[in-house]
Structure 1
Amino acid sequence: MAKAPQRPTLTSMKGAFKFPKLTVPDTKFKAEGEYSVKLVVASDAPGVADLISKCDKAAADSLKEAKANAKNVAEAKKWETKYLPYAYLEDEETGEPTGEVEFKFTMKASGVSKKTGKPWTRKPSLFDAKGKPIKDEPEIGGGTIGKISFQIIPYAPTTTVGASAKLALEAVQIIELRQFGDKSASAYGFGEEEGYEYTKDEDDDSTFPDGDEDQSGAPDEEEMVDF
């Protein structure tokens, strides 16, 4: 049996993380779990065109091989590339290009070894901006800036799925961490104004000094939920 070719491990350009699932695998659609992250970068950033070219070539090679290995002409015609691991972004309202592209990286979280029959698990390695391993995993939210270590893997499981290539996640370097819920004032449209300044010494629990304000008109929790 021929050995699988050794594929180089690549490192992405720096970009913004979108929908990162890097510490807990997503099991909503895949029982074995999947780690994933999308990397958003300017389409003209250094290295982007080269990575897109590598993805396109891997997908084309995968499609060519799938057609060549088809049982007959009819099956060969069914093979096509239905997915690429990158997409040029468009404005949701206008449909105009934003000048950005996103790459999707994934890692299967668990499985069973074909050689030994034993179950295995894995997860992406995390490193900080200095290259040191991160042991206490933080909550990694969207907007985090970082780089991805990955391999380009061709695939062609069935004609329904199609033949293409995927970006197999290996490790992540976090350069600027954003945690869930982290947003700056400017992200909400707030600027600097004269007036009240918060200090950590304030007692956050003492919302009402006397504790006897009338709350009868306040909405219930259910009323505050937009169904």
Structure 2
Amino acid sequence: MANPRPKMITVTSPRATLMHVYVNTPDDYKGVLKYKTQFTCDAAAARPLMAAMDAATDARMAEAVEETAAKIAKLRAAGENAKAKAVNQPKRKTSYEVLLDAEDQPTGKVRFSSTVNAEGSNAKGETWSNKPVCFDRFGKPTTVVVYGGSTAKVAVQLVPYAMADDNGTLNVGCSLRPKALQIIELVSKGQKSASGFGFEEEEGSYDGSSFTADDAADDSTDDNSTSSERDSQTRSEIADDDEF
């Protein structure tokens, strides 16, 4: 008999870039509503998450092997040896994507996918929302609309699974359910982050965070004054020329 299923755990990703984001309103695909997002992290920083997913997959794989062995034994006991011989062993699936470059070399990035039904329900007919909760960088709840390109940490629930394909083979892996996000850098609709344009931090003297609206007003006033002075000087020069 298989061991009792371990309680599903929640793990938080490192800083990640979000894409295909549906955390404010669910994605509607053929009438099926799901909250979802993909996120890409540095591979080194994502090792704890990958290790947790691998461990959950390995545990579910061990159960699947036991379940398959029991199925084969039951068929043989019933004298159905041909059917027993046709039973396939479970297949282990990697549930995250190590990103490769054009030469099939690792880029140092890993992509994860997370999805959950918009609503949950139980045998009693009770329902509840699975909408992920969003927090700002200070840990305060926020209802801001999040778009792809934003930087965030994603809290995901690990859900190991074993799903039979059309041939009856159990495919074993670990899916992720988005539970919460901490938004670190927000990208609005139609915008891209600096990294989205290929920009990285560079040495220099300009810091936009210290540039205020008052600074802009002062610069504008200076520019207008300089322009007026130039116009006055030009008119004076023209008047002098007319005297000759």
Q: RMSD of the TM alignment (CA)?
A: 2.9
SS of alignment partner, residue 23 of structure 2: strand
1:121 to 88, 106, 129: 129
1:63 counterpart = 2:61: yes
Contact preservation (8 Å) 2:120, 2:130 = no
Match of 2:39 in 1: 39
Q: CA deviation at 1:178?
A: 0.7
Change (3 A) 1:176 1:74: farther
Per-residue CA distance 1:109-149 (angstroms, 9 max, x = gap): 124322x0234332001111111111xx3331221111011
Is the partner of 2:115 in helix, strand or coil? strand
Q: Which runs of 5+ in 1 are unaligned?
A: 191-198, 200-227
Q: State whether structure 2 residue 149 is matched by structure 1 residue 148.
A: no
**C-alpha distance in structure 2 between counterparts of 1:75 and 1:123, whole Å:** 43
Secondary structure of 2:163 counterpart: coil
**Residues 183 and 168 of structure 1, relative CA distance in 2, 3 Å threshold:** closer
- The answer on whether the counterparts of 1:86 and 1:102 sit within 8 Å (CA) in structure 2 is yes
TM-score (norm 1): 0.69
Residue 180 (structure 1) aligned to one of 176, 185, 189 = 189
Find the aligned partners of 2:194 and 2:9 in 1 and give their Cα distance: 42
* Contact preservation (8 Å) 1:90, 1:96: yes
AA of the residue aligned to 1:183:
K
Q: 1:184 to 1:13 in 2, by over 3 A?
A: closer
2:128 is paired with a residue whose SS is strand
Identical amino acids, percent of aligned pairs: 30
Q: Which runs of 5+ in 2 are unaligned?
A: 73-83, 200-215, 217-244
Change (3 A) 1:156 1:99: same
Counterpart CA distance in 2 for 1:41 and 1:87 is 11
Match among 102, 105, 108 for residue 117 of structure 2: 108
Whichever of the two has the greater Rg, that structure is 2
Higher helix share: 2
What is the TM-score when the length of structure 2 is the normalising length? 0.64
C-alpha distance 133-187 of structure 1, shift in aligned 2 (>3 A): closer
